[in-house]
C-alpha cells in the first residue's frame, strides 16, 4: 500500500485534481518535493558515473586509497580517478596530489602531495614546511609536521612529496622514498568518485602558486 500511495502522490494525474480527498495538498506538496529530490539525486549520480566512465576510458584510471597517510584529505577505501594524460603536456605543479611508483618497488603505487619542484630548496623546521625560504600555508593538516629536515635542493627532474598525515606517512623524508623521479609519476589525482558524499575534484591550495620559483 505504501508504494501505491507514493505513486499517487507523485503522479501527474493526481496533480491535476485540485480537491482530491485521499491526497491533501500539503502531503502532495511534500511528496513532490521528495520526488524532486530523488530525481535530482539520480541525475547527479548518473552524471557522475558518466563522467567517471569517460575519464577512465580516455584520460586515466581508477585507484583505491589504502592506508591513512593522506588523511584527512583522502581516507582509506576512497576511490579516485587519476589523470594520466596531463603530465605528458604540462609539468606537475606544487600542491598537486599525485600517484607515483614506489622507488624501492615500482610495482607498488603511492599517493602523496607534491610539495617542492626541481631546483627548489625545501626544509622542515618549527613544525612547518619551508620552500625557497617561505613557509607553506597548510590549513588542511590535522597534525603538526614534526622533526627537522634539510634544507635540501630538489634534483633536476625530481619532486619532493609529503603525506598530509605527517605523523604516519612514508614520503620524501624517508630515504626509502626520497625524491620522486618524473618518470615514476603516474598522474594527478583528478576526481574522487566514492563515497558519494565526498564526490568531487581535488585541487591544489591556490595560495601555493604564489611562491617564488627557482
Q: Which residues of 43-57 are buried (b: 16+ CB within 10 A; e: fewer)?
A: eeeeebeeebeebee
Query: Which of 204, 188, 199, 186 is closest to 45 using CA atoms?
Result: 199
At 26, phi and psi to the nearest 5? -60, -45
User: Rounded to an integer, what is the distance from CA 23 to the centroid of its chain?
Assistant: 45
Query: Of these residues, 7, 20, 36, 69, which one is catalytic?
Result: 69
Catalytic residue among 91, 112, 169, 172: 112
CA angle 96, 98, 103 (to 5 degrees): 135
69 is catalytic: yes
All cell numbers assigned to 105? 618497488
Q: Please report where in the chains the cell 618518470 appears, as a residue.
A: 183
Assess contact for 165 and 70: CB atoms under 8 A.
yes
Distance in angstroms (rounded) separating the CA atoms of residues 110 and 68: 12
Closest to 126 (Cα-Cα) out of 143, 142, 141, 148: 148
Q: Name the phi and psi angles at 57, rounded to 5.
A: -75, -40
Contact (Cβ atoms closer than 8 angstroms) between residue 97 and residue 72 = no
**Does residue 91 carry a catalytic annotation?**
no
**Residues with a known catalytic role:** 69, 112
Amino acid at each position: 500500500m505504501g508504494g501505491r500511495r507514493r505513486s499517487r502522490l507523485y503522479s501527474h494525474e493526481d496533480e491535476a485534481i485540485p480537491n482530491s480527498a485521499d491526497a491533501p495538498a500539503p502531503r502532495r506538496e511534500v511528496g513532490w518535493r521528495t520526488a524532486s529530490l530523488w530525481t535530482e539525486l539520480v541525475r547527479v549520480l548518473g552524471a557522475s558515473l558518466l563522467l567517471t566512465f569517460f575519464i577512465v576510458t580516455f584520460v586515466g584510471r581508477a585507484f583505491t586509497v589504502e592506508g591513512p597517510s593522506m588523511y584527512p584529505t583522502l581516507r582509506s577505501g576512497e576511490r579516485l580517478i587519476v589523470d594520466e594524460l596531463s603530465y605528458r603536456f604540462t609539468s606537475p605543479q606544487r600542491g598537486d596530489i599525485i600517484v607515483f611508483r614506489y622507488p624501492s618497488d615500482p610495482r607498488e603505487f603511492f599517493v602523496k602531495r607534491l610539495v617542492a619542484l626541481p631546483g627548489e630548496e625545501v626544509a622542515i623546521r618549527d613544525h612547518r614546511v619551508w620552500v625557497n625560504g617561505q613557509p607553506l600555508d597548510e590549513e588542511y593538516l590535522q597534525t603538526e609536521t614534526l622533526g627537522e629536515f634539510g634544507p635540501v635542493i630538489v634534483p633536476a627532474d625530481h619532486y619532493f612529496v609529503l603525506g598530509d598525515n605527517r605523523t604516519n606517512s612514508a614520503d620524501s623524508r624517508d630515504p626509502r622514498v626520497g625524491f620522486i623521479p618524473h618518470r615514476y609519476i603516474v598522474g594527478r589525482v583528478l576526481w574522487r568518485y566514492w563515497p558519494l558524499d565526498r564526490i568531487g575534484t581535488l585541487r591544489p591550495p591556490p595560495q601555493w602558486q604564489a611562491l617564488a620559483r627557482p
